[in-house]
Amino acid sequence: MAQKILMKKSTIPGRVPGTEDLQVGELAVNTADGRLFSKHADGAVVPLGAAPEASGGGAGSVEAVATGEIMAGCAVVLNTDGTVSRAESGVSSSVPATGGIDIFDIRAAFDEVSGKLVVAYVIEGDDIDTCNGYAVVGAVAGGSISFGPPVMYNPMGNINEMETGYTQVVYVPSWGRVVIAYLSTDGGCNPDTICLVEGTVQGDHLQLGVPVVVAEPEWITAVNCVVGPSNGNIIVFLWDDGLLFVRAASFNGSSISLGPPYSESVGGFIWGGAVSWDTLNDRLIYVDSEWADNGDNMELRVRVGTLTGTSIAFGLVIEIFITLTCDSSLDCCFDVAAGKTIMSYADPTGQWMAVPLSLSGTTVTPGTPAALPMNGLRERTQMTYCPAVGKVVIVGEDEVVLASAVGGSLSFSEPEEYYSNADRFAAAVAVSGSGTLVIAHKKDHPDQTGYARAGSLTPDAILFESANLTTENFLGVASEACLDGEMATVQTVGAVAANQTGLVVGRRYYVSEGGELDLTPADPEVYAGLALSSTTLLVKG
């Protein structure tokens, strides 16, 4: 008696049957593509014969309309409407590391020339002599970030082992460069060297210039940087056991030049302060604190500075009678839309607060302090201004909010969690002109891996991509980049994707939490393929 073969049919272009759609031995035909599939005894669904030729397509590939931007070589999922998208897990993308036992001092900036993200971080080795700083370039597409190879930025010596506060990354628009300020040491904390190095994004990596030495203090407690928009120079601040040291730097297109140093005693053991540039008044706002009369808490003080070329001058100290627990909790950012500086700090009860500061001439007037609507704050916030939405972004260890100054008061958006129980130091980046937000962070301590979460900003909310990756909808690997609405070519089962980097030959790769390829299965566990070489992957092979 003749056996019957059960065949199932789909009319959706690019549709590939999942493992739950077929029993072993059953067939499925896609009449839109003219493709035939079978389920093997091992549970794998495989295509039979060659796929018909199509523009940019071929054997082992399908074409479908892209929903959202898709990058070459990324994992692709099939949506229920027949379109395809980059795989998104709704979580952070991992930052490439180079071994070691811990990653810390993660900082980030957005390079407006290339349209890409630059993340700098320090890897702690087995001892202080193996701590080194690295920078990676990331391309942001929707909620995903694809990183290039890490580049070491401290050839002059090892990075100090202290956990945070010694690395800063800023983008200087007039230079068209990303600048990294970092602490270099010979294996101890005395003496230290503060260095600056500029870098340009070239493809997927950062091309570094020649580092320059800013200062060699006896002891260092923190480093900070701010860009003076009126003349385009960068100003480096550092604190040395009660001594404030400030120096500006200019760039001639090929090298960094330093202006005269400015230093003065600010009294006591100052862990650090906060700086921002008031673009409305073209003035520098410098904030630190001093011990109150009771000796238990600290009181806020502000100074207004000017920058002429690379020469810096400060006015008198302005005391603002706001009490805080420690000056290392200070952070500030200029709200361009409101024309005021927003400062965050922790009060003596441990409550995180923010207050607007108004500048008129040489007088700084505080507004009404308000509690930050965020959970889990322990050390400090990171702040940046997003011109696309006209709001200040305030990032804590777990959550992020938007803030704006209205008169002498502050208003906040609803907080949005970017990661549950992240480590205490994070870096916020608002992408100019587009409202894209990237938060760089680490998850645990110690943790060998850094992470970056991409989202988008509206005037009233922070939006993070939701997960679209399941155990059944992984289609394959994008053969080339395409934009939203364009036709995407996806290399599917049995195809060789020749657009990868850094693969380990003979190893099985999975779709990671951030939608990239990784040796470690994520949740959900989705198998992507077998590495045939460092640049080629046999999809689902």
The better pLDDT of the pair 378, 58 is held by 378
φ/ψ (deg, to 5) at 142 = 65, -125
* 155-159, 351-355, 430-434: which is most confident: 351-355
Which three-class secondary structure string do you get for 475-525? EEEECCCECCCCEEEEECCCCEECCCCCCCCCCEEEECCCCCEECCCCCCC
pLDDT attached to residue 272: 66
What one-letter code names the amino acid at 294? N
Comparing CA positions, the residue from 372, 358, 386, 521 lying closest to residue 463 is 386
Cβ(102)–Cβ(447) under 8 Å?
yes
Write out pLDDT tens, residues 39-66.
776 667 766 644 333 333 344 788 899 9
- Give the DSSP H/E element, type plus range, for residue 242: none
Comparing CA positions, the residue from 199, 259, 253, 200 lying closest to residue 228 is 259
How far is 394 from 462, CA to CA, in rounded Å?
Answer: 11
Give pTM, 2 decimals: 0.72
Q: How confident is the model at residue 328 (pLDDT cuts 50, 70, 90)?
A: low
The better pLDDT of the pair 295, 248 is held by 248
- How buried is residue 534: exposed, middle or buried, by Cβ count under 10 Å (0-12/13-18/19+)? exposed
Top CATH class, 93-464: mainly beta
pLDDT attached to residue 155: 60
How far is 322 from 301, CA to CA, in rounded Å?
Answer: 9
pLDDT attached to residue 128: 53
φ/ψ (deg, to 5) at 76 = -125, 140
Handedness of CA 308, 245, 272, 161 (dihedral sign): positive
Q: Which residues of 232-241 are buried (b: 16+ CB within 10 A; e: fewer)?
A: ebbbbbbbbe
How far is 445 from 422, CA to CA, in rounded Å?
Answer: 9
pLDDT attached to residue 2: 44
Mean pLDDT of 365-375: 90
Q: How far apart are the first and last CA of the chain?
A: 36
Mean pLDDT of 499-516: 81
pLDDT attached to residue 278: 95
Q: How confident is the model at residue 294 (pLDDT cuts 50, 70, 90)?
A: low
How far is 180 from 108, CA to CA, in rounded Å?
Answer: 10
Write out pLDDT tens, residues 250-289.
999 999 999 999 888 776 555 667 899 999 999 999 888 7
Query: Please, which residues bridge with residue 181 across strands?
Result: 168, 196
Residue 293 has a CB neighbour count (10 Å cut-off) of 7
Write out pLDDT tens, residues 111-136.
999 999 999 988 876 655 567 888 99
pLDDT attached to residue 54: 33
| Distance, CA of 231 to chain centre | 27
Comparing CA positions, the residue from 84, 221, 55, 216 lying closest to residue 142 is 84
Greatest Cα-to-Cα distance within the chain, rounded to the nearest angstrom? 101
Among 46-55, 308-317, 456-465, the range scoring the smallest mean pLDDT is 46-55
Comparing CA positions, the residue from 275, 333, 326 lying closest to residue 304 is 275
Contact residues for 132 (Cβ-Cβ < 8 A; gap 6+): 98, 122, 123, 125, 152, 154, 158, 159
3-class DSSP state for residue 203?
coil
Residue carrying structure tokens 């950012």: 333
φ/ψ (deg, to 5) at 366 = -80, 150
Nearest 5°: CA angle at 412, between 410 and 418?
145
Mean pLDDT of 191-211: 89
The better pLDDT of the pair 65, 103 is held by 65
Indicate the average pLDDT of the chain.
80
Q: How confident is the model at residue 104 (pLDDT cuts 50, 70, 90)?
A: confident
Among 87-91, 307-311, 383-387, the range scoring the smallest mean pLDDT is 87-91
Among 269-278, 397-406, 493-502, the range scoring the smallest mean pLDDT is 269-278
How far is 230 from 46, CA to CA, in rounded Å?
Answer: 62
* 52-56, 344-348, 353-357, 533-537: which is most confident: 353-357
pLDDT attached to residue 434: 79
Total residue count of the chain as it appears in this document: 541
How far is 13 from 28, CA to CA, in rounded Å?
Answer: 14
Cβ(328)–Cβ(369) under 8 Å?
no
Residue 332's alpha-carbon distances to 82, 157, 302, 341, in angstroms, are 47, 31, 11, 7
Cβ(171)–Cβ(145) under 8 Å?
no
Query: Please, which residues bridge with residue 413 across strands?
Result: none
pLDDT attached to residue 160: 54
Tell which phi-psi region holds residue 480, choosing left (phi > 0), alpha (psi between -120 and 50) or beta.
beta
Percent of the chain with pLDDT over 70: 76
Say yes or no to pLDDT of 291 above 50: yes
* 154-168, 188-202, 248-262: which is most confident: 248-262
Cβ(359)–Cβ(341) under 8 Å?
yes
* Domain spans in the chain, listed from the N-terminal domain onward: 93-464
Query: Tokens at residue 404, please?
Result: 């704006």
